[in-house]
Amino acid sequence: MGKAQNDIEEFIYKICYQPIWKAVNEYISVHPTALNLSMSRIHYPDTAMLLDMLLEYATHIRIDEDSLFFDAIMSCTIELQQFDEYRGDMSCETSQWLIASCEAIITDKLETIKVSSVKPWSKGTQPSSSGIAASKSIVPIISRKDLDKEATAFLEKYYPEALEEPMRVPIEDIAKDKLGLNVVQGYRITDDFSIFGQICFSPGKVKIYDLFKTSEKEEEVPRGTILIDAYTYWQRNSGCVNNTIAHEVYHWHRHRLYAAIKHILKNEKFIACRCPADMVYPDEKEEWTDEQRMEWQANNLAPRILMPIQTFKIKVDELYKQYDYENNPLKIAVLTCIADELASFYGVSRQSALIRMTETGYPEAKSVLQAINEKDWHSYVSREDVFYEYSTNEDFRKLLDTGKFRYVDGYVVINDETYITTDDKGKATLSEYAWDHLDECTLSFSWQRIRRSKAKEVLPQIIFHRDNDEQDVSKYDSKQNAAVVELSKELQKKRKHFEQNEKIHKLSTVDKNCWTYIYEIITIKGTSKPHFCDLTGLGEENYRKAEKGLSNKPTVRTIVAIGVGLDLDIDTVDNMLKLAGRSFMDNPEDRALKFCITGLSGHPIDDCNDFLESLGYEPLGTKERY
């Protein structure tokens, strides 16, 4: 029978050999004179029968969804017979190369195998099947120059509307409704965020973790299940989720036959194709594995499916005109704005939009992309990192002091009701829209390395590893965040909270003491005595002092507690301090108190107290805390 050298040959020998034998034998039996018999003793046989058959090689391998097409080149040993009443019966053997064109339909098992034609082999025979060319390992063969063509073919089949005019490709709906896939989110796939997503080609059990890695379990999933790691959303953004879904959808579209054949040949119970957070590709002279080729294909096809070249360029040109790019001197800022709008429009990340711009004829986008790559920009940032920047970076401190941004759910986000809502307990949290548009509304940070000595009195020393005197913390850059800051200025004017504070700003401080001014603020806020005490952590006596307009002067900490509890901006708190004859001093503790008003604006008193206590300072408020 012969020995297989690769997957397609093994598949032919194990699965297709008998159907091909039958078809070849039938062909030579019916068409004995169609054989090349110029070198044979018998030129006009009456019968022909297949004695032996050996696979020389497989060619014209193509795939299309669940269909595998290939031509098997077989060397055949054939017995010929000729009946002659004068010279007697004659027989001989001859060798022939025949080509058998085959189609196998495979899901998680072999459904059908059909030999569509058999004919004598000749050099230069062209493939008769449809689909896309594949290697002998059943991996699609796609060159870089054909990537957009491949993305177009996908969209022509599943969402042709996106090729007619610019629009967001509803990739999750395509996965569910057009390809019948099951998309599951909300679990961790690994315990170290090394995998973004996973497509399950066969039914079986997968190991998953809960969101906080406190437990793990095996979950039974059907064939065609896409798992998206929860942290792909929480630590990245919805654009990363969409890209991961597109990545896994493409795996299903083009690579499920690879997995199915591996399953048939190796009897593997479960095969999944994972989307790693960091994929390393071979150098130019190194060999590629099948897995690396498939990851390269999915990585490159996902953004091209989400941003098809035909209509993506229309959208970019529209934005260039809208921003008057050619005549605008602030090229980098404008390109950043354009990239952000593309990211929002297509549901992708800013970086993905910039890369797509460079691929489709906008090389100037490389300048912004290079800045992002050089500095490893990120939006998710710890409270400690935010406070360090607030303490050491004057630009960042001034920005937070304007009230245009707040630190919410691990992001420094535009202070607007579009992006921030409050829960039943009055705590600020990101809105659903904000989670879907993090690139639009949050500040980006690079990394900086600092020594323990530089962070003294600013960062809790516990964050430094005992064996390492250095620590990476986030760094703010005003140029990188120009577009987000500009948006914050526009939205601030529309904010309800801003309008309420405007009323407070109009209050006169002439001939007033601090407590009288505080009570006028309480009245504008519509805050009752019990609510005031609950929000500020202060006792009822402080409310009564304001109500009666007593002349004694509150402390800085009491004023900060009121500012935090009533969610007042820094200008209002400064007015309160002046009327009380107080001010923030230039020392670490007062910077921390001021940060509670600016950086932690909108956070309840308990959050601010947790922050102060982490730095070794006394909490705000005089009420007993339970």
Q: Note the pLDDT of residue 278.
A: 56
Q: Tens digits of per-residue pLDDT, 419-456? A: 998 877 778 888 888 877 888 899 988 888 777 666 66
Q: Note the pLDDT of residue 338.
A: 92
Q: Tens digits of per-residue pLDDT, 243-297? A: 889 999 999 999 999 988 988 888 765 455 555 555 566 666 678 888 889 999 9
Task: Give the Å distances, CA to CA, from 158 to 89, 254, 597.
Answer: 62, 14, 51
Q: Which of 24-28, 221-225, 366-370 has the lowest mean pLDDT?
A: 366-370
Check: CB of residue 340 under 8 Å from CB of residue 439. Answer: yes
Task: Copy the structure tokens of residue 528.
Answer: 């009752």
Query: Is residue 125's pLDDT more than 80?
Result: no
Q: Which of 86-95, 193-202, 253-262, 596-605 has the lowest mean pLDDT?
A: 193-202
For the chain, percent of residues with pLDDT exceeding 70? 85
* Bigger pLDDT: 294 vs 624: 294
Query: Is residue 236's pLDDT more than 60?
Result: no
| Helix or strand (DSSP H, E) at 46 | none
* Bigger pLDDT: 575 vs 231: 575
- Mean pLDDT across the chain: 85
Confidence of residue 535 (pLDDT cuts 50, 70, 90): very high
Confidence of residue 149 (pLDDT cuts 50, 70, 90): very high
Strand partners, 140: 134
Task: Give the Å distances, CA to CA, from 333 to 296, 318, 337, 374, 484.
Answer: 31, 17, 6, 17, 10
Q: Which of 2-16, 309-323, 401-415 has the lowest mean pLDDT?
A: 2-16
Residue 15 per-residue DSSP state: I
Residue 313: exposure state from Cβ atoms within 10 A (0-12, 13-18, ≥19): middle
Q: Tokens 């042709």: give the residue.
A: 160
Query: Is residue 58's pLDDT more than 50?
Result: yes
Q: What distance, in Å, lies between the first and last C-alpha atoms of the chain?
A: 82
Confidence of residue 466 (pLDDT cuts 50, 70, 90): very low
Task: Give the Å distances, CA to CA, from 240 to 158, 234, 309, 594.
Answer: 21, 10, 20, 36
Confidence of residue 626 (pLDDT cuts 50, 70, 90): very low
Query: What value does the mean pLDDT take over residues 79-105?
Result: 87
Query: Is residue 524's pLDDT more than 70?
Result: yes
Query: What value does the mean pLDDT take over residues 502-513?
Result: 89
Confidence of residue 625 (pLDDT cuts 50, 70, 90): very low
Q: Which of 50-54, 95-99, 385-389 has the lowest mean pLDDT?
A: 385-389
Q: Note the pLDDT of residue 336.
A: 86
For the chain, percent of residues with pLDDT exceeding 90? 44
Q: Note the pLDDT of residue 269.
A: 55
Query: Is residue 493's pLDDT more than 70?
Result: no
**Please, how many CA atoms are within 13 Å of residue 167, restricted to the half-sphere of its CB?**
11
CA dihedral 567, 569, 572, 573 (to 10 degrees): 80
Q: Note the pLDDT of residue 140.
A: 94
Residue 479 per-residue DSSP state: T
Query: Is residue 121's pLDDT more than 90?
Result: no
